[in-house]
Chain A
């Protein structure tokens, strides 16, 4: 029984695993299909390979070269974003795009074409990749970039590890003066207010996101706290946060997260900020990675794990689409307290299967309560489809093959680039009924 799980801790599947520690070594010769596995922060089954083999890249974690003047870093694909930050921030360089956790590998960040709080100004992670080396099962090593092997580059970015193993990556870092961030948190009482603040923030704040209360209904529908930030100047003093070894050491019981406790948390969290708006300065960790402070926070969901749901729906002047989705979620009463919302920008995502596109994205967790949770997720999936939106494969454990094809119309073009010896549980699931 393999101990390799996804972050949602479901599904639990049997699979083999082999380490890939040295960039010059060949891929294992096995009968099974292969799938690269970094730090396992995808939620559903896009990082799992039931009855087949995972290629573990944790040991592929060395730096290769760094240009202090230009901020161009070349490193092995198993290097984590955390390792990059630890190395580069003291030298005055930051990640150009970062997702909500730094515990993902560079390879994983490319394979899911991750996005961050600065999507509206900078686009996705894949836009900042200068080149990478892809190792295919026939032994070929191909250097891909936006200008060479372009089709393979566009298939591999957001390609979920299916086109081959990314061995090393060259990326462009962002210059910063120090580790600090200037933040402003603004309370908003309803969804319309969120959109006003969001529009107002684009000009001065590269980083924006909002925490959303997904339990309160009626006039409080869509209330939350808007968080906007920018890198601080080095002269500004910030306190280095305490490195407390916080961890959730064991699975919480299944009843821990229920409507009452979530409602209580949301009331506390919303109420905690007394003033309408609050400005402060902090280290980049609590702003970019609040959940990383608690190791294994996913254990709060108990042994059954969680479903993460992330959708994007088109914007409109009345924002009907996202409001419909939010209302459906609130009506279910099953949301957890972790929910964020953001407006994506217009910058085109480079991958054939990239998730970010213009519109509004909503991301939240549902504790796995069995059939009732699955039905809810299915209902939401069909709702998103009817609204011309999409779901994010990195978070998904359930989408139908038909939904996948609707969300990603370039899937057929993408399929041509899948390596014949690579596969994943996700890919087999969304191709189950293909001709």
Chain B
């Protein structure tokens, strides 16, 4: 039986993944901003077979309460062995370009606050010599594009941080899983024109579950994004800077 701490448990992709953990009978500690939504997710997971589900309403960017939140999770479930971090904001690129404050917020939520959580959790797991840390990144972090480079930068920075963390913790028996979804049909992308490349959250959620259970290193979901991004990354800057993609 796994004991999971989930930060951003009401995110669509994460809650789809959690259904599979629940069916396996795992215990879950869910953290998110909105208590009403947490209770909805909790009920679903309990019906599906989770052995225990506790919830904590928390602003995930409130640095002063992260240590306390971790203590709550340990107190509720015992020793946590899995952590999933799946919260983030897309932000608004034009606003971020006009005002640094908006850009700072995107970077703070998606990168800095996550680093703060990861610092505490990685030290905890390193001490115990075991554990799995899974973080939802994005293909947007693979290369900066004019349409969303502030979001992309926050996810790209996270990608580099995680691979360094993986390097540090591999010898200590702790797995670090970086998950990069492409376009997914969720409330985050609801305002965008949905093309053929958009994946269902159910499918991506299952992919997240499999990646964590198999302790993968770096996963693109669905799989074909790995090859799309490979091509994107190969394009020389002199060409890429003129593209409108």
Contact = CB atoms under 8 A, between A and B. Distances in A.
B234 interface: no
A64 interface: yes
Given A62-B43, A63-B47, A64-B44, A24 B190 contact: no
Nearest to B44: A62
A17 to B, nearest CB: 9
Interface residues of A, number: 13
A87 B46 CA distance: 13
Instruction: Please classify the interface of chain B as helix (H, G, I), strand (E, B), loop, or mixed, using the class held by over half of its residues.
Output: helix
Contacts of A21: 12, 187
A24 B40 contact: yes
A371 to B, nearest CB: 32
Contacts of B36: 22, 24
Contacts of A63: 43-44, 47-48
Contacts of B47: 63-66
Interface string A19-53: 10111100000000000000000000000000000
B44 A19 contact: no
A62 B41 contact: yes
A269 B48 CA distance: 41
Contact of A19 (B37, B41, B190): B190
A3 B198 CA distance: 13
A59 interface: yes
Nearest to A74: B47
Given A3-B194, A59-B187, A22 B43 contact: no
A64 B190 contact: no
Nearest to B10: A22
Contacts of B44: 62-64
Contacts of A3: 194
B48 A87 contact: yes
Interface residues of B, number: 12
Nearest to B43: A64
A19 B190 CA distance: 8
B12 A59 contact: yes
Interface in A226-278: none
Contacts of B194: 3
Interface in B27-79: 36-37, 40-41, 43-44, 47-48
A214 B156 CA distance: 60
Contacts of B43: 62-65
Nearest to B190: A19
Interface in A292-333: none
Interface string B183-211: 00001001000100000000000000000
A22 B37 contact: yes
A23 B48 contact: no
Contacts of A22: 36-37, 40
Contacts of B187: 19, 21, 59
Interface in B136-195: 187, 190, 194
Contacts of A65: 43, 47
Interface centre among A22, A59, A62, A66 (most CB of B within 10 A): A62
A279 to B, nearest CB: 35
A59 B200 CA distance: 11
B194 to A, nearest CB: 7
Interface centre among B37, B40, B41, B187 (most CB of A within 10 A): B40
Nearest to A63: B47
Contacts of A66: 47
Contacts of B41: 62
A292 B177 CA distance: 35
Contacts of B12: 21, 59
Nearest to A24: B36
A105 to B, nearest CB: 14
B20 to A, nearest CB: 12
Interface in A1-20: 3, 19
Nearest to B47: A63
A59 B11 CA distance: 11
- Name the 9 nearest CB pairs between A and B, nearest first: A62-B44, A63-B47, A63-B44, A66-B47, A24-B36, A64-B43, A19-B190, A22-B37, A62-B40
17 contacts: A3-B194, A21-B12, A21-B187, A22-B36, A22-B40, A23-B40, A24-B36, A24-B40, A59-B12, A59-B187, A62-B41, A62-B44, A63-B44, A63-B48, A64-B43, A65-B47, A66-B47
Given A22-B36, A22-B40, 16 more contacts: A21-B12, A22-B37, A23-B40, A59-B187, A62-B40, A62-B41, A62-B43, A62-B44, A63-B43, A63-B44, A63-B47, A63-B48, A64-B43, A65-B47, A66-B47, A87-B48
